[in-house]
Amino acid sequence: MAAPDWTLGKPLRREWDESQTALRMTVNGKQVQTVVADRLLLCDFLRDNLELKALKVACGEGACGACTIVIDGQPARSCTLLALQAEGAEIFTLEGLNAPEGLDQVQQIFQQQHALQCGYCTPGWLVTVYSMIKRSIHPDSPEVAQYLSGHICRCTGYRNIWTAVRRALGAAMDESAGGEK
Amino acid sequence: MKEEARKSTGASPSREYIGKRVLRAEDIELLRGRGGFLADLPAPHAAEICMVRSTEAHAMVRAIRKERALASPGVIAILAAGDLDLVDDALPCVDMIPGTLDARHRVIARDRVRYVGQVVALVVAENRYLAEDAAALVEIEYESLPPVTDHMAAKNPGAPLLYPELGTNVVYQVTQCDGNADFAARDGDLVIRKRYEFHRQIAVPLEPRGVTAKLIDDGQRLHVESCTQLPQVLRLAVAGALGLALDHVRVTVPRLGGGFGCKEMVYPEEILVPAATRKLQRPLRWLEDRREHFASATHAREETVDAEAVVAPDGTFLGLRLTGWCNIGAAYGFVGNTPITAMGAMVRGPYRVPNLDAQMFSVVTNKTPLNVLRGAGGPQAALVMERLLDEAASILAIDRAEIRRRNLIQPGELPLDRGRTGFAGSYHTVYDEGDYPRCLEAGLRLAEYENFESQRKAAAACGKLRGMGIAMYVEITAVGPYETARIALQPDGTILLFSSIMPVGQGSETTQRQLVAEELGISMEQVAIRQGDTDEVPDAVGTFASRGAAAGGAAGRMVARELVKKILCCFAAALHCEPASLRWECGGVMVSMPSEEFIPLSKIPTRLALLREEREPRRIDAKHRIEIPKPSYSYATHVAVVEIDPQTGQLKIPQYTVAHDCGRIVNPLLVEGQIVGGVVQGIGAVLREQLVYDSEGHLLTRAMMDYVLPGASDTPAEFNLWHMETPTGFNPFGMRGVGEGGTIGSHAAIANAVADALRDYDVAVDGSGPFTPTWIMEALSRPPRAAIPSRVPAKKK
């Protein structure tokens, strides 16, 4: 994925006097090679320059989890990192984690449980749930609460999110158990 | 033949969507991260704006020096009050009754700033980073004035005045009474006098605000896109402020990432961005960051209420006298006087209390303007009444459930005129149908009220303090005065509904489609919906006051009914027959000539074209305006159980119960979502959240790290929910609203539960707290309560 040299969705201009640096990373399995303003935030780079709009910026200080992405296998906040801090990293956003069309199993469970209302925080939760599944977190494990504590939802009151997350983890375990047979 | 025709076209008897747990189709895009929120939308060639906001709570602006900022890279313009050609710089406030002083919010500071966060200038630059760089270089010379942040100080003579020309900081006053306002206690009556304090909060929808503006139609019109619950109101405001003809302004609203009342406002930025666009002839965008949100999105709740209740020895509340002062901040919000008006209007909830004398005031201070937040003033009103009931029960040694039973309005008394207590538009509050006693008993039964004392003992044996709190409320919902909708049968045979209700997360796309599908007897998949475009729905009221389904949905269903009439007329004309010889049945038209035949909706446009001998099928449009002269009143019983760990001050909610009646339920899945979400917002409000100012008027809680919102661990461990459905006669389809009730009931239920858990300690729960671990530890450090306080003798008059 070749991109022009960027600051916040616009090509860098010399007269803006921005300090800039070359950047390489993998985003959703594609190579990105570009030059960015040093101070460009990772969330802005992904949203505005790569047009990956699923992640949301809501608090700007890593408090709410709406901007969660996966960096080198770890869920991380993209609003408190500079794009340059992800130099050489392998990044996944929701766009690269969910199915190319329709709803995958986790998303279907979220819909069935009415685990979203306005949906602004939802991409962040999903990225975290995919990470939990990847680590085979058991639905009854106390770790579930730790993962969920990283996200704020203003609409649902969390009850349906708890149910959806536990169901999604359970379904994933069943699936992997079935696969081993 | 008839049956066969139906089978072959797929038409079926009524689908009966009402009351079904229909999953939301809108979830698909949201779950894929393609919700299309304002910040996600392309804004081609748009420059970005950073607002320069006041750092002073109260000051005269002596000079604004732009030179250094203008020299900053990428800067396009820096605009202050004098640079914008505003015809009218006062933002609308709808609840200014006669006698209300003009403290309307100004679009931009002219010579005086009145709160930290007020817009003083706009920096327009090529991107947000560059705009922020330059904003830091704008030099504003202030001459400080003494600030006043406490409304109880600001209301007194001699306090610094925000508007010296008004001569007072008390800008709004309303008197609300019922029965005999001069009631007095008789010998033997109990008189309870209390002062209740409510702390300042903010909604914090996860999506911040934002506005884009551009010129369209060869520069003839302005297109404003904003995160608002009120697109039609905003269009009026933009046209008025800029001196444009109304049809020269188009407002569109994308999907909103939560509103909760915070977006029921016309904000300065929503005028400034289009004004700057017109001035610079360039598309512009402003996206709020969270720090701006805390300083400049409307705040909520802060008020002080003095209450005097006269209670007969048997626990019957005879009268309530209230004086309330709301700290509305530096200027009116769009409905900034509504919260304090709700106190007098709704304080008595489902309880009879025949006599009421309420005097309510709004006081301006050097804080961010206050507006409604989910429940408006309902949470405060319910808390006052419910705390008074528990106080009276305790003093008179009456069971807490029993004292409520003795005061509840009986079903036979409804509908009931509650006197001159209403809001500006509806002076009398008139309750509609309901069964409050049944709702109370349902809540108590679900919560196993009778077994609570054994629960309390069991918790005490483990060193924990358990308390239970009961709260009931009646909530004004589905307010008018009207609502509109448009509908089209498209040439391809599908339905397109143009709704005036914004998608804020409540699922309005789904409920509105359910209602239309139900009315027409078709599948929901045949109904598409568009929302939030003033070119499509120019006149509407908006999305607030729990009116989306009940008012907007009723308009949507009525317009579907209009469409049927139009379709029948079209067939009658084409077939040269009487419309009466045609009928709508199960998703299509039944015609009797030339032979009896069922034409399903999907085939109607092509059939009409055939009959009319036209080549192309035509679209059939209908519109409808539904008058809503009277709001309807939802009600509920909440029972909260809290458990306090006296070692740490941690509070948990092992069980929460809601029994409620919002009339006819369209979609129980979504109703439950609204209730649970509302309850947890209320829990956060009384246990965690608080906006804190220092004495100089600087906001100290400026970010989500400072302002602690409820998290996943704050949701009650067990949640019981019970629906009652008493259709209201005030709505053509029996619907009431449900969006806010959860928040209203939970403030009072949690406060009562906290007081109950701490009943052995000498601590007063006289307001909304917040009851943080620090507050609880402080309460537990007090000496244990000696005994139940003796009865306060009634004052003889």
Residue A56 confidence (pLDDT): 98
Q: Is pLDDT at A2 greater than 90 in this prediction?
A: no
A88 exposure class (CB count in 10 Å sphere: 0-12, 13-18, 19+): exposed
The chain B residue lying nearest A65, using CA atoms, is: B206
Residue B796 confidence (pLDDT): 42
Residue B542 confidence (pLDDT): 83
Q: How far is CA B392 from CA B163, B343, B396, B408, in A?
A: 42, 20, 6, 15
Residue B790 confidence (pLDDT): 44
Chain A partners of B28 at a C-beta cutoff of 8 Å? 102-103, 111
Give the closest of B73, B672, B704 to A64, CB-based: B704
B2-35+481-627 topology per CATH: Aldehyde Oxidoreductase; domain 4 (3.30.365)
Confidence of residue B3 (pLDDT cuts 50, 70, 90): very low
What is the arithmetic mean of pLDDT over B639-665? 97
Q: Which of residues 48-87 of A touch B (CB under 8 A)?
A: 53-61, 63-64, 66
Distance in angstroms (rounded) separating the CA atoms of residues B517 and B362: 45
Cβ contact B727:B662 at 8 Å: no
Q: Is pLDDT at B761 greater than 80 in this prediction?
A: yes
Least Cα distance to B595 among B608, B577, B616 occurs for: B577
Cβ contact B237:B340 at 8 Å: no
Q: Which residue has the higher pLDDT, B239 or A2?
A: B239
Q: Which residues neighbour B217 within 8 Å (Cβ) at sequence distance 6 or greater? A: none
Q: Which of residues 467-486 of B touch A (CB under 8 A)?
A: none
Least Cα distance to B324 among B107, B459, B518, B173 occurs for: B173
Provide the angle, in degrees to the nearest 10, between the axes of the packed helices A105-112 and A122-134.
130
Confidence of residue B524 (pLDDT cuts 50, 70, 90): very high
| Yes or no, beta carbons of B73 and A123 under 8 Å apart | no
Chain A partners of B208 at a C-beta cutoff of 8 Å? 58
Q: Is pLDDT at B2 greater than 50 in this prediction?
A: no
Distance in angstroms (rounded) separating the CA atoms of residues B124 and B70: 10
Q: Give the DSSP per-residue string, B632-683.
A: EEEEEEEEEEEEEETTTTEEEEEEEEEEEE-BS-S-HHHHHHHHHHHHHHHH
Kindly report, residue by residue over B337-361, the tens digit of the pLDDT: 999 999 999 999 999 999 999 999 9
> So what CATH class is B299-479+630-780?
alpha beta
Q: Count other C-beta atoms under 10 Å from residue B554's C-beta.
A: 23
The chain B residue lying nearest A111, using CA atoms, is: B27
| Yes or no, beta carbons of A61 and B505 under 8 Å apart | no
Distance in angstroms (rounded) separating the CA atoms of residues B409 and B790: 29
User: What six digits make up the tokens of B320?
Assistant: 């309530």
Distance in angstroms (rounded) separating the CA atoms of residues B294 and B703: 7
Q: Is pLDDT at A1 greater than 70 in this prediction?
A: no
Q: Is the peptide bond before B770 cis (omega within 30 degrees of 0)?
A: yes
Q: Classify strands B112-113 and B317-329 as parallel, antiparallel or unpaired.
A: unpaired
Q: Give the DSSP per-residue string, B140-185.
A: EEEEE------HHHHTSTTSPPSSGGGS-SEEEEEEEEES-TT--P
Q: Comparing A70-74, B215-219, B627-631, B786-790, which segment has the lowest mean pLDDT? A: B786-790
Three-state secondary structure call for residue B275: helix
What are the φ/ψ torsions at residue B60 (nearest 5 degrees)?
A: -90, 140
Residue B671 confidence (pLDDT): 97
Whether residue B718 lies within 8 A of chain A, CB to CB, comes out as no
Distance in angstroms (rounded) separating the CA atoms of residues B293 and B205: 10
Q: How far is CA B587 from CA A165, B144, B495, B606, B713, in A?
A: 39, 69, 12, 16, 47
Residue B423 confidence (pLDDT): 78
Give the closest of B28, B290, B681 to A60, CB-based: B290
A105-180 topology per CATH: DNA polymerase; domain 1 (1.10.150)
Whether residue B427 lies within 8 A of chain A, CB to CB, comes out as no
Q: Determine if residue B562 is left, alpha or beta; phi over 0 gives left, psi from -120 to 50 gives alpha, anything else beta.
A: alpha
Q: Comparing A81-95, B152-166, B622-636, which segment has the lowest mean pLDDT? A: B622-636
Question: What are the start and end residues of each CATH 3.30.365.10 domain in chain B?
Answer: 2-35+481-627, 299-479+630-780
Residue B370 confidence (pLDDT): 98
Confidence of residue B784 (pLDDT cuts 50, 70, 90): confident
Q: Specify the DSSP class assigned to residue B206.
A: S
Kindly report, residue by residue over B728-756, the tens digit of the pLDDT: 999 999 999 999 999 999 999 999 999 99
* CA neighbours closer than 13 Å in the CB half-sphere of residue B370: 28
The chain B residue lying nearest A103, using CA atoms, is: B28
Kindly report, residue by residue over B675-716, the tens digit of the pLDDT: 999 999 999 999 999 999 999 999 999 999 999 999 999 999
Q: Is the peptide bond before B617 cis (omega within 30 degrees of 0)?
A: no
Confidence of residue B12 (pLDDT cuts 50, 70, 90): very low
Least Cα distance to B517 among B11, B5, B29 occurs for: B11
| Yes or no, beta carbons of A118 and B705 under 8 Å apart | no
Cβ contact B59:B120 at 8 Å: no
Q: Which CATH number fits domain A6-97: 3.10.20.30, 3.90.1300.10, 3.40.50.2300, 3.40.50.720?
A: 3.10.20.30
Interface contacts A/B by beta carbons within 8 Å = 185
Provide the angle, in degrees to the nearest 10, between the axes of the packed helices B378-396 and B400-407.
110
Q: Which of B21, B23, B32 to mutate to test the interface with A (most CBs of A within 10 A)?
A: B32
| Yes or no, beta carbons of B257 and A160 under 8 Å apart | no
What is the arithmetic mean of pLDDT over B360-389? 97
What is the arithmetic mean of pLDDT over A78-88? 97
Give the closest of B126, B260, B507 to A10, CB-based: B126
Q: Is pLDDT at B797 greater than 50 in this prediction?
A: no
Cβ contact B642:B653 at 8 Å: yes
Least Cα distance to B296 among B107, B35, B464, B23 occurs for: B107
Work out the angle at residue B691's Cα, subtended by the Cα atoms of residues B764 and B257, and round it to the nearest 5 degrees. 120
Q: Output the average pLDDT for chain B.
A: 94
* A181 to chain B, closest Cα gap in Å: 31
Chain B partners of A110 at a C-beta cutoff of 8 Å? 27, 31
Q: Classify strands B299-300 and B201-202 as parallel, antiparallel or unpaired.
A: antiparallel
Q: Which residue has the higher pLDDT, A181 or B380?
A: B380
| Yes or no, beta carbons of B27 and A145 under 8 Å apart | no
Place domain B39-145+208-255+263-296 in its CATH homologous superfamily.
Aldehyde oxidase/xanthine dehydrogenase, a/b hammerhead (3.90.1170.50)
Residue A9 confidence (pLDDT): 63
Q: Give the DSSP per-residue string, B29-97.
A: HHHTT----GGGS--TT-EEEEEEE-S-SSEEEEEEE-HHHHTSTTEEEEEEGGGS--S--BPP-S---
What is the arithmetic mean of pLDDT over A17-24? 89
Q: How far is CA B87 from CA B82, B95, B215, B216, B274, in A?
A: 12, 22, 19, 21, 13
Bridge partners for A24 per DSSP = A33
Q: Is pLDDT at B14 greater than 60 in this prediction?
A: no
Question: What are the start and end residues of each CATH 3.10.20.30 domain in chain A?
Answer: 6-97
| Yes or no, beta carbons of B676 and A159 under 8 Å apart | yes
| Yes or no, beta carbons of A116 and B33 under 8 Å apart | no
Give Cα B412 to chain centroid, integer Å: 31
Give Cα B53 to chain centroid, integer Å: 27
Q: Which residue has the higher pLDDT, A17 or B431?
A: B431
Helices (H) and strands (E) in chain B, counts: 19, 30
Distance in angstroms (rounded) separating the CA atoms of residues B334 and A119: 26
